[in-house]
Structure 1
Amino acid sequence: MDRSVPALIVKIGAYPLHHGGVGAIRSLGRLGVPIYAITEDRCTPAAASRYLKGRFVWPTTGREDPGRLVDGLLRIGRRIGRPTVLVPTDEEAAVLIAEHAAALAGPFRFPRVAAGLPRRLASKQGLHELCVEHGVPSPAAAFPRSYADIEAYAGQARFPVVAKNREAFLRRRRPAVAGTTRIGGPSQLLALARGWGPRPGVILQEYLPREDAEDWIVHAYADASGAALALFTGVKVRSWPPYAGMTACAYVVDNPELAQMTARFVERIGFSGTADLDWRLDRRDGRYKLLDFNPRMGAQFRLFENAAGVDVVRAQHLDLTGRAVPQGDQRAGHRFVVENIDLPARLVYRGRRTAPHTPRRPAGTELAWFAADDPLPFFTMLARCVGPGARHLAELRRTRRAAAQHRR
Structure 2
Amino acid sequence: MTQARIEPDRATPALLVKVGHYPQHHGGVGVIRTLGRLGVPVYAVVEDRWTPAALSRYLTGAFVRRTSGTEDPAELVGLLLEIGAAIGRPSVPVATDDEAAVLLAEHAEELSAHFLLPKVPPALPRLLASKAGLFEVCRRYGVPSPAAWVPQGYGELLAVGREHGYPLVLKNLEAWTRLRAPAVRHTTVVRGETELRAACPPGEVPSVLVQEYLPPELAQDWITHLCCGPDGAEPLVFTGRKLRSWPPGAGVTTRAQSLPNPELAAMAREFCRRLGYRGAADLDWRLDLRDGQYKLVDFNPRTGAQFRLFQTVTGVDVVRALHLGLTGRQVPEGPQLVRSFGVGQLDLPSAAVTCWREGRLPQDVLPRASTERSWLCRDDPLPAVGEAVRFTGAVAGRLRRAVPRSGR
TM-score (norm 1): 0.91
Q: CA deviation at 1:205?
A: 1.2
- Partner residue, 2:165: 158
Q: CA deviation at 1:18?
A: 0.6
- Partner residue, 1:349: 354
- Partner residue, 1:57: 64
Pair 1:40-2:47 in alignment: yes
How is 1:176-191 mapped onto 2 (pairs within 5 angstroms)?
A: 176-186=183-193, 188-189=195-196
The residue type paired with residue 33 of structure 1 is V
- Distance in 2 (CA, whole Å) between partners of 1:359 and 1:49 is 27
- Rate the CA distance shift 1:339–1:191 in 2: closer, same or farther, 3 A: closer
How is 1:6-405 mapped onto 2 (pairs within 5 angstroms)?
A: 6-186=13-193, 188-189=195-196, 192-195=199-202, 197-332=203-338, 334-350=339-355, 351-352=359-360, 354=362, 362=368, 364-390=370-396
- For the 8 Å contact 1:227–1:263, the answer to whether it is kept is no
Q: Which runs of no fewer than 5 residues in structure 1 stay unpaired?
A: 397-408
- Distance in 2 (CA, whole Å) between partners of 1:139 and 1:149 is 19
- Distance in 2 (CA, whole Å) between partners of 1:281 and 1:48 is 39
- Distance in 1 (CA, whole Å) between partners of 2:346 and 2:19 is 22
- Distance in 1 (CA, whole Å) between partners of 2:353 and 2:397 is 16
Q: CA deviation at 1:164?
A: 1.6
Q: CA deviation at 1:341?
A: 1.1
- Distance in 2 (CA, whole Å) between partners of 1:184 and 1:141 is 16
- Distance in 1 (CA, whole Å) between partners of 2:13 and 2:221 is 35
- For the 8 Å contact 1:225–1:270, the answer to whether it is kept is no
- For the 8 Å contact 1:145–1:200, the answer to whether it is kept is no
Q: CA deviation at 1:308?
A: 0.8
- Distance in 2 (CA, whole Å) between partners of 1:251 and 1:199 is 38
- Rate the CA distance shift 1:140–1:393 in 2: closer, same or farther, 3 A: farther
Q: CA deviation at 1:359?
A: 12
- Rate the CA distance shift 1:361–1:166 in 2: closer, same or farther, 3 A: closer
Q: Name the SS for the 1:74 alignment partner.
A: helix
- For the 8 Å contact 2:153–2:205, the answer to whether it is kept is yes
The residue type paired with residue 335 of structure 1 is S
Q: CA deviation at 1:393?
A: 6.8
- Distance in 2 (CA, whole Å) between partners of 1:323 and 1:32 is 15
RMSD between superposed Cα atoms in Å: 2.2
- Distance in 2 (CA, whole Å) between partners of 1:290 and 1:395 is 38
- Partner residue, 1:403: none
- For the 8 Å contact 2:189–2:250, the answer to whether it is kept is no
Report percent identity of matched pairs.
54
- Distance in 2 (CA, whole Å) between partners of 1:354 and 1:389 is 24
- Distance in 1 (CA, whole Å) between partners of 2:206 and 2:150 is 9
Q: Name the SS for the 2:76 alignment partner.
A: helix
Q: CA deviation at 1:344?
A: 1.6
Q: CA deviation at 1:155?
A: 4.0
- For the 8 Å contact 1:83–1:107, the answer to whether it is kept is yes
User: Is the deviation greater in 373-382 or in 180-189?
Assistant: 180-189
Q: Name the SS for the 1:179 alignment partner.
A: coil
- Partner residue, 1:405: none
- For the 8 Å contact 1:337–1:365, the answer to whether it is kept is yes
- For the 8 Å contact 1:218–1:234, the answer to whether it is kept is yes
- For the 8 Å contact 2:223–2:283, the answer to whether it is kept is yes
Q: How many residues align?
A: 392
- Distance in 1 (CA, whole Å) between partners of 2:43 and 2:200 is 44
- Rate the CA distance shift 1:363–1:260 in 2: closer, same or farther, 3 A: farther
User: Is the deviation greater in 202-211 or in 89-98?
Assistant: 202-211
- Rate the CA distance shift 1:236–1:156 in 2: closer, same or farther, 3 A: same
- Rate the CA distance shift 1:161–1:58 in 2: closer, same or farther, 3 A: same
- Distance in 2 (CA, whole Å) between partners of 1:147 and 1:383 is 42
Q: CA deviation at 1:25?
A: 0.5
- Rate the CA distance shift 1:359–1:239 in 2: closer, same or farther, 3 A: closer
Q: CA deviation at 1:2?
A: 0.5
- For the 8 Å contact 2:98–2:175, the answer to whether it is kept is yes
- For the 8 Å contact 1:176–1:202, the answer to whether it is kept is yes
Structure 1 ranges of 4+ moved more than 6 A: 358-361, 392-396
- Rate the CA distance shift 1:228–1:15 in 2: closer, same or farther, 3 A: farther
- Distance in 2 (CA, whole Å) between partners of 1:123 and 1:228 is 26
The residue type paired with residue 283 of structure 1 is L
- Rate the CA distance shift 1:392–1:214 in 2: closer, same or farther, 3 A: farther
- For the 8 Å contact 2:239–2:265, the answer to whether it is kept is yes
- Distance in 2 (CA, whole Å) between partners of 1:78 and 1:326 is 32
- For the 8 Å contact 2:235–2:269, the answer to whether it is kept is no
Q: CA deviation at 1:150?
A: 2.5
